[in-house]
Amino acid sequence: MARLSAEAVAQARELMSLYPDSRSALVPICHLAQAEEGWLSPEVMEHIAELMGITPAEVLGTASFYEMLRTEPVGRYMVSVCTNIACLLNGAYELLEHAEERLAIGVGATTPDQMFSLEEAECIAFCDRAPCLQVNHRFFGSVDDERFDTLVEDLAAGRLDDDVPHHGVLSRVRRQGGLAVPAEQVRAERAEADRARAERAAAAQAERS
């Protein structure tokens, strides 16, 4: 799939309407797009640019700034092994080595079947269960070699599909039924806020002069 799905386009439009400057919706829209394919392909970035009326270079500029937005393809599961101090002391590098062997790829690579990508991560704030890792930003603590193998098998077999959606899906709780606050209300409130601000500014001005 090259471009965004109709559903994603609709959601993107909704997101744009939430911000006074629709450009502000770029990061959330990138996440939305990433949930579709797991990464931001050139076609998708161009589609986003088209939707938002900006240039692809601007989309890439933002997307390439953030670690969690991927501009290169990654596997269905992004395995991020923490190697920061607490994990390191608890055998993170041994775990990472094991992961490399088990997945038969080096850090930064993706398995040929496009299932797993492996990366080294800084502290993911799960130090009490060191060594630990994230798969698509879901936490797994106290991981030893054996548990790692089980985890990989479970993921590959689809047994964890409910807990770990494919890469790019940030939240399993998709918002259903449109915006929590209708767009008109957002607009009305914004207009009201603008008016109040203008009034305050005018009052302050008057006071000064």
Closest distance between ligand FES and the C-beta of residue 142, in Å? 11
Q: Residue 197 is encoded by which pair of tokens?
A: 């601000």
* Residue 68: closest CA among 112, 10, 119: 119
Q: Which option in ligand FES, another protein, none does residue 82 bind, with CB closer than 5 to 8 A by kind?
A: ligand FES
Q: How far apart are CA 43 and CA 45, in angstroms?
A: 5
Does residue 64 interact with another protein by CB under 8 A?
yes
Instruction: Output 56 or 141, the one with its CB closest to another protein.
Output: 56
Does residue 28 interact with another protein by CB under 8 A?
no
Alpha helices in 66-182 (DSSP H): 85-89, 92-103, 145-157
Point out which residues bind ligand FES (CB under 6 A). Answer: 82, 84-87, 123-127, 130, 132
Does residue 91 interact with another protein by CB under 8 A?
no
Query: Please, which residues have CB within 8 angstroms of residue 20's CB and are 6 or more apart in sequence?
Result: 190
What element of type H or E holds 77? strand 77-82
Q: Which option in another protein, ligand FES, none does residue 85 bind, with CB closer than 5 to 8 A by kind?
A: ligand FES
Instruction: Output 59 or 118, the one with its CB closest to another protein.
Output: 59
Q: Which option in another protein, ligand FES, none does residue 132 bind, with CB closer than 5 to 8 A by kind?
A: ligand FES
Q: Is 40 within 8 Å of 34 (Cβ atoms)? A: yes
Closest distance between ligand FES and the C-beta of residue 209, in Å? 33
| Candidate list 5, 10, 42, 108; residue touching another protein; CB under 8 A | 42
Query: Please, which residues have CB within 8 angstroms of residue 54's CB and are 6 or more apart in sequence?
Result: 23, 26
